[in-house]
Structure 1
Amino acid sequence: MAVLADVLAFVIGLWILLYLLDANRGNALVDFVHDAATWLAGWSYDLFTFDREWVQVVVGYGLAAVVYLFIGHLVSGWLYRR
């Protein structure tokens, strides 16, 4: 469970990095990572609004990554103890 949470957070974190580095959105890998991260963070992206787009991306997607990590590791620890 923790590995799955790590992978989901990695995909979201990778999109944040690609966005901040202004990666070529025409590239198939960049497009795939963007689509996956958008699907994973669909619930959190518009939770808060900011004037600057880069802050919106970092907070909106970053919140989803942190929640996936927290819940995934919490559940994993709970299952491990059982």
Structure 2
Amino acid sequence: MGYPVSNIDPASGYPAYDQSPAAGHSGGGQAAARRTALIICTIADIAAALLGLWIVLYLLDANQANAFVGFVHGAADWLSGWAQNIFTMDTEGLRIVLNYGLPAVVYLLIGHGIAGRINRA
């Protein structure tokens, strides 16, 4: 039992897959939407990861003079600039967790929410 001759790709000799819209594929538009959603998710994940990393570095009392720690702190400050001092606790560690953790959660929710809407469209 073989494949119909018309279904064989002459270049490879293997069965050709029909990728026309009639075969259940929406073509390049769907692939572009998925790529866009993936990019949005990746950006949101990176932003949240930087904020989370700064929280961990702060709580572990990382060397503030280190270049990597300085980079992460600067990026986290920039990403959470809109949320700075929302919470003003006396405990410095809790204040850092809340003021940098809130933006991380917001970026994840918004980024993945937008990506989900793009994938459903």
Normalised TM-score (structure 1): 0.97
Matched, 1:6 2:78: no
Equivalent residue for 1:74? 113
Paired position in structure 2 for 1:51? 90
After superposition, residues 28-67 of structure 1 pair within 5 angstroms as 28-67=67-106
Alpha-carbon distance in 2 for matches of 1:69, 1:7: 9
Tell me, yes or no, if structure 1 residue 23 matches structure 2 residue 62.
yes
Please give the alpha-carbon distance, in whole angstroms, between the structure 1 residues aligned to 2:84 and 2:49.
Answer: 16
Unaligned runs of 5+ in 1: none
Of the two structures, which has the highest relative contact order with CA contacts closer than 8 Å and spacing of 6 or more? 1
Tell me the TM-score normalized by structure 2. Answer: 0.67
Q: Which has the higher helix share?
A: 1
RMSD: 0.6
Determine which structure has more spread, i.e. the larger CA radius of gyration: 2
Distance 2:50 2:84 in 1: 15
Aligned mates of 1:26, 1:48 — CA distance in 2: 26
Render the CA deviation track for 1:55-78: whole Å, top value 9, x for unaligned.
110000000000000000000000
The Cα of 1:45 is off from its aligned counterpart by 2.0
